[in-house]
A and B are shown apart, each in its own frame.
Chain A
């Protein structure tokens, strides 16, 4: 409870401080809009040319794209401490300052940054979700809404967990950041389309290692009434929990990396 209060207060302060530079903030927010708009344009153009992807119609594809955009950029917005700021915190020794306070390190890292510019990306995602829902003529019901919210919530932890790979590597002062990007940004690019697009190896990768399929595609396919697998409907509520599992594993690795940091020094 106290942690949530601290997080709320930190966010309020960080956002206030970003609004100190309104022109730059607006410009960057706009750049984000163009960026995500460009990504969506690519999907629209592909759909124009090819009509459909396996059994998925244009509307279905917009829905998948929207789900990924909303989840990914919510993570980049609120998880900024991990997704963007962490390497420089290690480099500049800011991490030491966090160790000098009576709070958990990860809590403080998450409290130390927020990226409200992503709001435009999230907005593009929402537009795409609505568009996809309209075109796919989804019959919304309470469980479906719940499933969508659960999927987004679990995706947040999944994506945060994937970004923590980079953070852990960073603590061990490994510089191959690009490698970690394959799962985060690569996962985003790949899994904005349903997983059955890809050959077996990639399907396994996105189900077992970086379980985007479990957290996003299975629930989404149920919402669209085109289940990916012939599993009972309740399983769609269970599979997204894989996001928490991944986050849990990464949290343990992060903790042991911090132990290493404290014994290896810098």
Chain B
């Protein structure tokens, strides 16, 4: 059996409505957060879990980590049912919520780690070895004596990650881990996650809105929408379905004379630069190139696929999300 096995998972929430004028009791609205979701994840896999807001990503993570009990369906993680054996289960998992801190605000992060060691019953040896390893990989060595509140957002995120990994979990859930981080920190964090996955064979499930994270880390993605699983497979394959547009940027040495272009290609001129957008199928370089050359002397020509965020937006739109 797979490491994570999810079958027929259903979960609904009752949302209490505002009381109507005149009635005494507030009404309820039933929201189906998850509808018959099934998937399997093997040990050591790095899986991206994407979908628009409210798709049910967090609900899945909460069920898998034992915080929530589902209405229906079977879930086992490493042979255990998360919500039935909460303490035994959480001992082996790590969870990082991008916007929620578990470290203590006013004390040096090393002190927070000491307390986490106590909470998780980590033996001395294992703790010191693991802390040294993580501190090096996350470049935290010089910050261990600094109170959390004095750290920058990126440093804080790294400290959080370190805290969540101290007990060497075999499964790691990351909920929007790179939210609000600068480019350098983001790259460092991705490197670290790849390292952790390679070095310790840690299974990682990542939910994010940052498609670059997914592209850099996960070969497999699952798309969730309105509580249902819509796609499960390679990221490249998913993208190729929606990757139907190309953008041509042509820079001339002076203002170009706008050429007559075939109908499906649209063009916008801006000073010396001409920007063309067209569907991949209509992109006929043999016809286009001479036309473009007539317009002036070309200094630079770039052909780009569309931004990954646009692809996902197109996908969501097609799926009616």
Contacts and interface: CB of A to CB of B under 8 A. Distances in A.
A10 B115 contact: yes
Contact of B121 (A2, A259, A263): A2
Nearest to A263: B69
Contact of A17 (B66, B87, B105, B119): B105
B65 A100 contact: yes
Contact of B62 (A9, A20, A96): A96
Contact of B147 (A5, A20, A92, A264): A20
Q: Per DSSP, are chain B's interface residues mostly helix, strand or loop, or mixed?
A: mixed
Contact of A263 (B33, B68, B93, B95): B68
Given A9-B114, A20-B106, A262-B69, A102 B120 contact: yes
Given A20-B147, A264-B13, A265-B11, A100 B90 contact: yes
Given A9-B114, A101-B120, A103-B119, A265 B68 contact: yes
14 contacts: A6-B118, A9-B114, A9-B118, A13-B104, A13-B115, A17-B104, A17-B107, A93-B100, A99-B90, A101-B90, A173-B16, A259-B69, A262-B69, A264-B14
A108 B116 CA distance: 12
Interface string A107-119: 0100000000000
Contacts of A92: 100
B95 A100 contact: yes
Contacts, number: 75
Interface string B61-98: 01001111100000000000001001110110101010
Closest 7 CB pairs of A and B: A17-B106, A263-B69, A102-B87, A102-B91, A20-B106, A99-B67, A97-B102
Interface string A231-266: 000000000000000000000000000010011110
Q: Which of A93, A108, A173, A262 has most chain B Cβ within 10 Å?
A: A262
Given A100-B95, A102-B91, A265 B107 contact: no
Interface string A210-250: 00000000000000000000000000000000000000000
Q: Which of A9, A20, A101 has most chain B Cβ within 10 Å?
A: A101
B196 interface: no
Interface string B26-54: 00000001000000000000000000000
Contacts of A173: 16
B272 interface: no
A263 B86 CA distance: 13
Contact of A6 (B88, B90, B104, B119): B119
Contacts of B11: 265
B66 A101 contact: no
B176 interface: no
A263 B133 CA distance: 38
Nearest to A95: B67
Contact of A100 (B67, B83, B115): B67
Nearest to B14: A264
A238 to B, nearest CB: 35
Contacts of B90: 99-102
A10 B111 CA distance: 10
A16 interface: yes
B59 interface: yes
A2 to B, nearest CB: 7
Contacts of A263: 68-69
Contacts of B111: 13, 16
A206 B107 CA distance: 42
